[in-house]
Amino acid sequence: MAKREKGGFWVGVAAAIVYPMSFVLGRHRMVHGERIPREGAALLVMNHISHLDPCYDAMFVHKNYRVPRFLGKHSLWNVPIMGAILKGAKQIPVYRGTTDAQQSLRAAHEALAEGKCVVIYPEGTITKDPDGWPANSRTGVARLALQHDGPVIPVARWGTLDLYNHYQKKFRPFPRKTITHFVGEPVDLSAYRGREETLPLLREVTDLLMGAVKEHLAEVRREPAPEGFYGPRKA
């Protein structure tokens, strides 16, 4: 049996909250979870469709014997109790549009350099696509992916939008939904490593990674994915 990565007290607190809540609200289905490395650095690239995603994604990563390090909006650190858990579990606050914005990427780089499992939502927020397909993404994910040798793994998740749709203000816990995680093969970035990290290159790598996520999402949904990504481009 694989050895579970140790997370400490606050990860245990988070697990005690997330596991029961997630079980009550939905069934969990995982496809190719064995593709998540049991040790060493890994960057998980995921789509974002609901504010409930982090709960199920944290459980998904934890079930695969790893402790997830999420990049999340810094304002969440100001929420009572949640902020203490996020800080104690060593999650990574994202300061968008401030002088501390680059600090978020530095912290993610440090986590990967230390052999941690980092989870990133390149879209930056939940997609506004009415059908839940990925939106255009920020290029920070490409910087992380290219500057580390660990595997970059696309993961598609589906089901949380049926449970809670923020834009339609609909929370539908019954009947219980099935939340699916589909883990893809690591993306081969060898053709891009060692090249100057220009904006066009970073955009190409970002779209390559999110394209893989979109393809796996289409497999889960059993329907063809649309061309391109929803909304305006974000650097």
What's the mean pLDDT in 185-190? 98
Lowest-pLDDT choice from 69-78, 130-139, 176-185, 187-196 = 69-78
CA distance linking residue 162 with residue 25, whole number of Å: 11
What is the overall mean pLDDT for the chain?
Answer: 92
pLDDT of residue 12: 93
**Residue 109, SS3 per DSSP:** helix
How many angstroms from the chain centroid is the CA of residue 66? 14
What local confidence, expressed as pLDDT, does residue 188 receive? Answer: 98
Predicted confidence (pLDDT) per residue in 44-103, tens digit:
999 999 999 999 999 999 999 999 999 988 888 888 888 898 999 999 988 766 555 666
pLDDT the model gives residue 100: 58
- Residues of 23-47 as b/e, b for ≥16 C-beta within 10 angstroms? eebbebebeeeebbbeeebbbbbbb
**In 3D, which of 8, 143, 5 has the Cα closest to residue 65?**
5
CATH tag, 9-221:
3.40.1130.10
- Cβ pair 46, 67 in contact under 8 A: no
3-state helix, strand, coil in the chain (%, to 5): 40, 20, 45
Note the Cα 200 to chain centre separation in Å: 23
More confident residue, 103 or 208: 208
pLDDT tens figures, 22-39: 989 999 999 999 999 999
| CA 1 from centroid of its chain's CA atoms | 26
Q: Give the C-alpha separation, 206 to 209, whole Å.
A: 5
Q: Structure tokens of 185?
A: 């093969």
Angstrom distance (rounded) from CA 76 to CA 72: 7
Q: Percent of the chain beyond pLDDT 90?
A: 80
Would you state the pLDDT for residue 72? Answer: 83
Residue 155 buriedness (CB in 10 A; 0-12 / 13-18 / 19+): buried
**In the prediction, which pLDDT does 37 show?**
97
The full set of domain ranges for the chain reads 9-221
Do residues 53 and 123 lie in contact, with contact meaning Cβ atoms separated by under 8 Å?
no
Respond yes or no on whether the N-terminal peptide bond of residue 175 is cis (omega within 30° of 0): yes
User: Is residue 186 pLDDT above 90, yes or no?
Assistant: yes
Residues 6+ apart with CB under 8 A from 213: 45, 46, 47, 134, 154, 155, 156, 184
96: Cα within 13 Å, side-chain hemisphere: 13
The whole-number pLDDT of residue 129 equals 97
d(CA 6, CA 69): 13
